[in-house]
Amino acid sequence: METLYVELGERSYPIYIGSDLIRADVLAQHIPSSQVMIVTNETVAPLYLDTLLSSLPGFKVDVIRLPDGEAYKTLEHWTLIFDALLSCRHNRTTTLIALGGGVVGDMTGFAAACYQRGVPFIQIPTTLLSQVDSSVGGKTGVNHPMGKNMIGAFHQPVAVIADTQVLNTLPDKELSAGLAEVIKYGLIYDPDFFDWLEHNMEALREKEPTALATAIYKSCRIKADIVAQDERESGVRALLNLGHTFGHAIEAHAGYGAWLHGEAVAAGTMMAVNLSLKEGWLSIADAERIERIFVAAGLPVKPPRDMTESHFRELMAVDKKVVDGSLRLILLEQIGRGVVTGSFSSEHLSATITEMTA
Ligand SMILES: NC(=O)c1ccc[n+]([C@@H]2O[C@H](COP(=O)([O-])OP(=O)(O)OC[C@H]3O[C@@H](n4cnc5c(N)ncnc54)[C@H](O)[C@@H]3O)[C@@H](O)[C@H]2O)c1
Ligand SMILES: O=C(O)C(=O)C[C@@H](O)[C@H](O)[C@H](O)COP(=O)(O)O
Ligand SMILES: [Zn+2]
């Protein structure tokens, strides 16, 4: 087992990465009282709930199973968590445990941020995407029909337990979606990691255990470093949004769940790459390498063709990085160096949207 730390003073916490980590000796130290509420979904529960329940001897454990899917990451379904907590008489010392992918993790974290004004929660991420990204950093929330993750809170978990064994049951399409966020770290922060990913993509797609553990460790290392520098996204943390302004527009336009988050991020990143080329920042050779790696990861490199410029402009106008009505995007200067900028030509952006949806 490898342990990393997200260094945030009194809100610091460990990220455990390894095989067979859903165990009493890992969990118990992070649970302050006898009450525990596990939040999971109808797909993950039959696979891993028994293992988790048997790792909580001596605790009073209740469970809520949410319906599965991005379409249920709504305020309406989120309130079901409070119904369960209240009807089972959970008090302020309860601990919530998120057992599932990013949807369960984001909803559980947001419930923990709000229940009785804030209770602790543990992330047990069960998808590649949630192990490399969503379980770390404390962004929690739900979607609104007009925009992704529009309602939420920053609330850090007390521990992240990334059990690599559970990825054995993850469908290939979901694995690819997780690889989009892994590739993101190489692009914004670490050119050597990007090289490593180019050489290890086949092993990753075959779920080769050492390659997966390395990708998870390196991704969490980068995310932990960035979050420690800028917990609430007033600066460098916005780099983690590479491809997301376009990607979130794709998700909202298609209807939440029609495009997986990672798929939308891959296509959105290629739009950011196209714009970076037009701004004269990125080289054609780097742009081609980026397209090749997304294709090798089994990811789309173009947005849906039914999206028009006005669809993108309207949905991107509510992006959380907009300041005083001006859009800011993450663009690339080179592989390994991202920038947060509002300095790009509006004509170039229009041309990017037109070319990419053609
Ligand atoms: N908070 C953050 O910083 C952050 C970062 C990235 C993404 N996100 C959010 O995370 C969400 C996407 O997360 P995701 O990709 O994990 O999707 P997800 O939570 O929908 O999980 C994907 C699918 O895999 C299933 N599943 C989960 N674990 C499994 C396992 N071990 N075996 C078999 N099936 C399994 C799920 O039930 C679901 O059907 C989006 O809502 C996105 O906005 C948040
Ligand atoms: O942790 C972050 O910061 C990120 O931006 C990570 C993203 O991968 C993630 O999808 C996040 O939920 C997007 O945040 P948002 O603030 O644009 O909703
Ligand atoms: Zn993301």
- SS3 string, the chain, reads CEEEEECCHHHCEEEEEECCCCCHHHHHHHCCCCEEEEEEECCCHHHHHHHHHHCCCCCEEEEEEECCCHHHCCHHHHHHHHHHHHHCCCCCCCEEEEEECHHHHHHHHHHHHHHHHCCCEEEEECCHHHHHHHCCCCEEEEEECCEEEEEEEECCCCEEEEEHHHHHHCCHHHHHHHHHHHHHHHHHHCHHHHHHHHHHHHHHHCCCHHHHHHHHHHHHHHHHHHHHHCCCCCCHHHHHHCCHHHHHHHHHHHCCCCCCHHHHHHHHHHHHHHHHHHCCCCCHHHHHHHHHHHHHCCCCCCCCCCCCHHHHHHHHCCCCCCECCECCEEEEEECCEEEEECCCCHHHHHHHHHHHHC
* Half-sphere exposure (Cβ direction) of 199: Cα atoms closer than 13 Å: 6
Report pLDDT digits (tens) over 288-297: 999 999 999 9
The CATH label, of 3.20.20.220, 1.20.1090.10, 3.30.230.10, 3.40.50.150, for the domain at 184-357 is 1.20.1090.10
Task: Tell me the pLDDT tens digit for each residue of 175-224.
Answer: 999 999 999 999 999 999 999 999 999 999 999 999 999 999 999 999 99
Q: Which ligand is nearest to the CA of 259?
A: 1
Query: What atom of ligand 2 comes closest to residue 237's alpha carbon?
Result: 3
User: Which pLDDT score, from 0 to 100, does residue 85 have?
Assistant: 98
Q: Where along the chain do its domains lie?
A: 2-169, 184-357
Q: What is the pLDDT of residues 111-160, one digit of tens each?
A: 999 999 999 999 999 999 999 999 999 999 999 999 999 999 999 999 99
For atom 44 of ligand 1, the residue with the nearest CA is 134
Instruction: Determine if ligand 1 sits within 6 Å of the CB of residue 169.
Output: yes
Verify whether ligand 2 is closer than 6 Å to residue 218 (CB atom): no
Numbered residues of the known binding site for NAD(+) = 68-73, 102-106, 126-127, 139, 148
pLDDT tens-digit map of 28-84: 999 999 999 999 999 999 999 999 999 999 999 999 999 999 999 999 999 999 999
Determine the distance separating the centroid of ligand 2 and the alpha carbon of 57, expressed in angstroms. 35
pTM assigned to the model: 0.98
What is the topology classification, in CATH, of domain 2-169? Rossmann fold (3.40.50)
Q: What's the CA-to-centroid distance between 25 and ligand 3, angstroms?
A: 31
Pocket test for ligand 1, best of 261, 269, 320 (most atoms within 8 A of CB): 261
pLDDT for 55 equals 98
Ligand 1, atom 22: closest residue by C-alpha: 101
Which residues are annotated as part of the binding site for Zn(2+)?
181, 244, 261
- Residue 309 has a pLDDT of 97
Q: Which residue has the tokens 């379980």?
A: 135
Residue 273: per-residue pLDDT: 98
The pLDDT tens digits of the residues spanning 68-120 come to 999 999 999 999 999 999 999 999 999 999 999 999 999 999 999 999 999 99
Binned at pLDDT 50, 70 and 90, residue 325 comes out as very high
pLDDT at 35: 98
The catalytic site residues sit at 117, 139, 181, 223, 233, 237, 241, 244, 248, 261
Can you give the pLDDT at residue 131? 99
